[in-house]
Amino acid sequence: MQGAISDLPWWKGAVIYQIYPRSFRDTDGDGIGDLRGVLEGLGHIASLGVDGIWISPFFTSPMADYGYDVADFCGVDPIFGTLEDFDAVVEKAHALGLKVIIDQVYSHTSDHHDWFIESRSSRHNPRADWYVWADPKSDGSPPSNWQSVFGGPSWEWDARRGQYYFHNFLKEQPDLNLYNEEVQAALIAAGRFWLDRGVDGFRLDALNFGMHDRALRDNPPSGVQAHEATRPFNMQIHKYNMSQPDIVGFIELFREMLNDYPGTFTVAEVGGPNPIAEMKAFTEGEERLNSAYNFDFLYAPELGAERVMRSANLWDQSDEEGWPSWAFSNHDAPRAVTRWAPGEQRDEMARLYMLLLLTLRGNPIIYQGEELGLPQANVPFSHLKDPEAIMNWPKTLGRDGARTPIPWEVAKPHAGFSSAEPWLPVDPEHAKLAVDQQQGNDSMLRFTSEALAVRKRFEALLHGKMSFHEVGRDTALVVRREASEGAIIALFNFGDAPFAIPPGLVSSGDVVLSSRPLKENLLQDQAVPARAGVWVRVD
């Protein structure tokens, strides 16, 4: 089993590290991270033992949604650097053995994009149908009742055209008309541009928002009441403003282009309350995408065995089925260790969560700072930047607290992120967890590297089948990963008291990694300590 070699594609079971470049590292002293900062930080990322990086948007943008409002799909925003800086990142990443994945945002653009500026200029210009335009109802109200993710109606009146345009997100993010074949061709050409520059694949943002019901029918109510919702969006079932079956046709066209670049990897972000059918449709067979992930864990307010098993068991692991990816934290969700663990337990639980993420069958996605055990940062209201965080304050933790700068050196101003005041403040609690403070063997950083190294030794953890042994309590989880070379039993105790291992489950084997020191011989004691995860190799 040790040193197993697989002929499967590189991405199957690969661990991807997400870089939010705005907060990764600043090299030009403007308080905003940049591509040169990514370049400087690649050595740190490679030392973890991950297989690739995903870089969140660095494209030309007015930054209404901090880069997810793209004004030029083939340009680098000056705050991040230049195309030459990006090329240098790709070259160094590849030299370090890292694949490079970048975001592609195909459901919408910025209202500053040349395409939209032309589209809104009249009803008869060459790009008039590149966005979703509609006449008002006879009373002047919007064409449908659709609500935007960020609050308020999904329709914005435009006096120049005398029509409403559709936006699932901010009004500064008009939705593309992905039914239009010229739009499809333009987006595919943008993807080809980056592949020609050496990227190894894409994370496709908000992909299931890419198409709408062309009849513009009203969404039905979800049953969520106003006092229960943080935004009107939650009060509807999103039957018509997203998740249309024709998205699969565009995916297949996109895959045809990707086939010209062997070895590429594509992962779709699929949001919504019941996304599994779309995730499977987007990744089915050899003519669509490689992988998909959703928000099962990203928005979960707590974590236990039942939630893990329910999410993982949605995939039947058949050969025809797509391949899942998993994320516990990212730039769109409050950090997991804050959502799931009391403050005094976060150091221990951060290790447990990392071990669990690396146990699940699929591609683990580690969000920057997760390897340091960073909790959600405290960002005062006066410093908030994210429009969603401002709108929902103080009812939600918001996204800004997950987007604050990475702490590199505790003794330097702003923890070494920048020589200037950062765009978001560095939390003093984060500075204590800086990279230079975590070089000891007992640090979260060292544990992450060790866990990644151990994982690579076992085919079972990389590609093996996954099953669960139910123990009847939500604070205990037993996972079996199995390949032809052998198996790993992963035991997790989310609770505050030792968890007795079910009789006969692990009678012999070797403990290959534990998130906490084991004072006793686990196999003799037959108990997992409180707040601990353990990998045991069995034959």
**Amino acid letter, 506:** V
- Under DSSP, the state recorded for 140 is S
Q: Which residues pair with 16 in a beta bridge?
A: 52, 365
Choose between 85 and 391: higher pLDDT.
Answer: 85
**Integer Cα distance of 267 and 12 in angstroms:** 11
What does the pLDDT read at residue 509?
Answer: 86
Contact 212, 241 (CB under 8 A): yes
In tens, the pLDDT along 512-535 reads: 999 998 877 787 888 999 999 999
Which ranges in 358-434 belong to alpha helices (H)? 387-392, 428-431
Residue 4 has pLDDT above 90, yes or no: no
CATH architecture of 465-538: Sandwich (2.60)
In tens, the pLDDT along 323-339 reads: 999 999 999 999 999 99
Q: Given the DSSP bridges, would you call strands 363-367 and 465-468 parallel, antiparallel or unpaired?
A: unpaired
| Among the ranges given (14-28, 87-101, 111-125, 218-232), the one the predictor scored with the smallest mean pLDDT | 218-232
CA-to-CA separations, 51 to 18, 271, 406, in angstroms, rounded: 11, 25, 20
Q: pLDDT confidence of 393, banded at 50, 70, 90?
A: confident
User: What residue ranges in 110-194 does DSSP mark as E strands?
Assistant: 133-134, 155-158, 163-166
| Among the ranges given (39-48, 212-221, 401-410, 508-517), the one the predictor scored with the smallest mean pLDDT | 508-517
What does the pLDDT read at residue 392?
Answer: 81
In tens, the pLDDT along 285-310 reads: 999 999 999 999 999 999 999 999 99
In tens, the pLDDT along 395-423 reads: 777 899 999 999 999 999 999 999 999 99
Instruction: Read off the tokens for 194.
Output: 């980056």
Contact 342, 391 (CB under 8 A): no
Q: DSSP letters along 293-321, please?
A: E-STTTS-SS--HHHHHHHHTTS---TTS
Choose between 387 and 181: higher pLDDT.
Answer: 181
What does the pLDDT read at residue 305?
Answer: 98
Instruction: Read off the tokens for 111.
Output: 């209202």
Which ranges in 345-433 belong to alpha helices (H)? 346-357, 387-392, 428-431
Catalytic residues: 205, 269
* Highest CATH level, class, for 16-109+181-452: alpha beta
**Integer Cα distance of 54 and 525 in angstroms:** 42
Contact 488, 538 (CB under 8 A): yes
Nearest to 59 by CA among 191, 156, 220, 240: 191
Q: Given the DSSP bridges, would you call strands 363-367 and 323-327 parallel, antiparallel or unpaired?
A: parallel
Instruction: Read off the tokens for 104.
Output: 């592609």
The most distant pair of C-alpha atoms in the chain lies apart, rounded to whole Å, by 78
Residue 229 has pLDDT above 50, yes or no: yes
Nearest to 49 by CA among 366, 287, 345: 366
Dihedral angle of Cα 110, 115, 118, 119, to the nearest 10 degrees: -80
Domain boundaries, the chain: 16-109+181-452, 465-538
Which contiguous run of DSSP H or E holds residue 119? helix 114-119
Residue 268 has pLDDT above 90, yes or no: yes
**Mean pLDDT score across all residues of the chain:** 95
- How many beta carbons lie within 10 A of that of residue 85, not counting itself? 18
Residue 2 has pLDDT above 50, yes or no: no
In tens, the pLDDT along 455-510 reads: 999 999 999 999 999 999 999 999 999 999 999 999 999 999 999 999 889 888 89
Please name the residue that has the structure tokens 């592609």: 104
Phi, psi of 269 (to 5 degrees): -85, 125
Contact 466, 360 (CB under 8 A): yes
Residue 6 has pLDDT above 70, yes or no: no
What does the pLDDT read at residue 519?
Answer: 74
Q: Which residues pair with 52 in a beta bridge?
A: 16, 99
**Amino acid letter, 382:** S
- Under DSSP, the state recorded for 469 is -
